[in-house]
Amino acid sequence: MLKFLRLIALVLFPAMLALPASAETYPSRTVKLIVPFGAGGPADVYARILAKYLSEETKHSFVVEDRPGAGSLLGTDLVAKSAPDGYTLLVMSNTHTTNESLIPNKPYQLMRDFLPVATINYSDLLMVVNPSVPAKTVAEFIALAKKDPGKLNYASSGPGTPYHMAGELFKAMSHTDIVHIPHKASGDARNSVLSGNVQMMFDAVTTMSALAQAGKVRALATTGAKRNPLTPDLPTVAETVPGYEATIWLGLMAPKGTPQDVITFLNTSINKVIELPAVKEAWLKQGAIPLVKTPAEFDAYLHKDIEKWAEVVKVSGAKVQ
């Protein structure tokens, strides 16, 4: 009998070691938050804030790794192919929901290869132009674009990003012909507008408002359904183009197969962090609104957003360049 029990132990022990992480032991080592966008953008900035507070909350290290490239595809595919143990997570945005229809032949599929973990926050975009552009309002910019179709251009941080799709939605709804100039990262796109190489851009209010206040760009409007509390005197695009709305939101996903109790642990911890008064106050000052959802609510939110941007891609005729 003793030999039999030893044999059973030899068989079961390696299998037990191979079991996925559970919330009882998770996290027991460093958790990586993979940001598939360039440094300095909203995803990178808020991922680092989240990692700091999660490290304090869980007493284990959460670190951010920027893996930009191919409009977020490189970093996202890296996470899709990672072990589903909760130690490699994807910081994602509506770039990913747009790419589901804009780039159908990806090496991954969002809702097939990932599980929703938690939402983080959302913010309006700011429609800005280089000061050399002779338009001080959205209506004047539209008139300028219609006067010389194809002459004006707008910058983005790559195909499928919120900045790109905000521009495509604007073109479709304002019936204008404006050329899309994609860049590798939001900082590159921003610099192109600052230098005057590109005339216009939709950028996160959290990163562009300071440049607008300094007069380095001219802000024409915000892109939310209502005026932004950071810029109450600035109209929305919808005040000129009825129905227009485009925001940027951030969330966290894990490779499919990640244990449910780990997903629940992460969701609870993240929601606790983004509800902290210090975090909420700091984000609100930057124009970012905390977004709290359960994994199931986030799943429904993702499906709805995929459908929304699929329609925009169809109507606008947007393509990967």
Place of tokens 């909350």: 57
Record the pTM. 0.80
Where are the domains positioned within the chain? 29-122+248-316, 124-239
Note whether 223 and 217 are within 8 A (CB). Answer: no
- Strands 218-222 and 88-93, by their bridges, are unpaired
Question: Do 124-239 and 29-122+248-316 have the same topology in CATH?
Answer: yes
CA 304 to chain centre: 16
CA 68 to chain centre: 12
Per-residue pLDDT tens listing for the chain (321 residues): 555 445 444 444 444 444 455 556 899 999 999 999 888 888 999 999 999 999 999 999 999 999 988 878 999 999 999 999 999 999 999 999 999 998 989 999 999 999 999 999 999 999 999 999 999 999 999 999 999 999 999 999 888 888 999 999 999 999 999 999 999 888 899 999 999 999 999 998 888 988 999 999 999 999 998 998 888 999 999 999 999 999 999 999 999 999 999 999 999 999 999 999 999 998 988 889 999 999 999 999 999 999 988 988 888 777 775
Give pLDDT, residue 185: 81
Residue type at position 113: D
| Dist CA 246 CA 169 (whole Å) | 8
Note whether 182 and 159 are within 8 A (CB). Answer: yes
Note whether 183 and 154 are within 8 A (CB). Answer: no
Note whether 202 and 125 are within 8 A (CB). Answer: yes
Per-residue pLDDT reduced to its tens digit, 247-282: 999 999 999 999 999 999 999 999 999 999 999 998
| Dist CA 26 CA 63 (whole Å) | 15
Give pLDDT, residue 43: 92
Answer whether CATH 3.40.190.150 is correct for domain 29-122+248-316.
yes
Residue type at position 13: F
Per-residue pLDDT reduced to its tens digit, 47-89: 999 999 999 999 999 999 999 888 789 999 999 999 999 999 9
Scanning the chain, the segments in alpha helix (DSSP H) are: 2-17, 42-58, 73-80, 94-102, 110-113, 138-147, 162-174, 186-195, 205-213, 260-274, 277-286, 295-316
To the nearest 10°, the Cα dihedral for 113, 257, 251, 294? Answer: 130
Give pLDDT, residue 285: 85
| Dist CA 38 CA 268 (whole Å) | 28
Give 14's contacts (C-beta < 8 A, 6+ positions apart): none
Q: What is the C-alpha radius of gyration for the chain, rounded to an integer number of angstroms? A: 22
Give pLDDT, residue 16: 47
| Dist CA 198 CA 173 (whole Å) | 21
Give pLDDT, residue 22: 54
**Does residue 86 sit in helix, strand or coil?**
coil
Note whether 170 and 158 are within 8 A (CB). Answer: no
Note whether 34 and 86 are within 8 A (CB). Answer: no
| Dist CA 38 CA 8 (whole Å) | 51
Half-sphere exposure of 207 (CA within 13 A, CB side): 21
| Dist CA 160 CA 168 (whole Å) | 10
CATH top class, domain 124-239: alpha beta
| Dist CA 234 CA 7 (whole Å) | 74
Angle between helices 205-213 and 42-58 (to 10 degrees): 120
